[in-house]
Amino acid sequence: MSALARFLAMGGYAVFVWPAYAVALFVLGGLVLASLRRYRSSLRALEALERRRERRP
């Protein structure tokens, strides 16, 4: 068995390790997407507030 195959087999625990990595990447990706959406929403809200402030005398 090659070194790569042994690594990928994770000593017989690959069935537990690789899905755990997949779940972790999925969750982290979701957090990144949620953060970007919230950031863009905050920028739009800030721009709206600044426009409203500029219109006031």
pLDDT in tens, 3-30: 999 988 998 999 999 999 999 999 999 9
The domain segmentation of the chain, as residue ranges, is 3-55
SS (H, E, C) the chain: CCHHHHHHHHHHCHHHHHHHHHHHHHHHHHHHHHHHHHHHHHHHHHHHHHHHHHHCC
Q: For the whole prediction, is pTM greater than 0.75? A: no
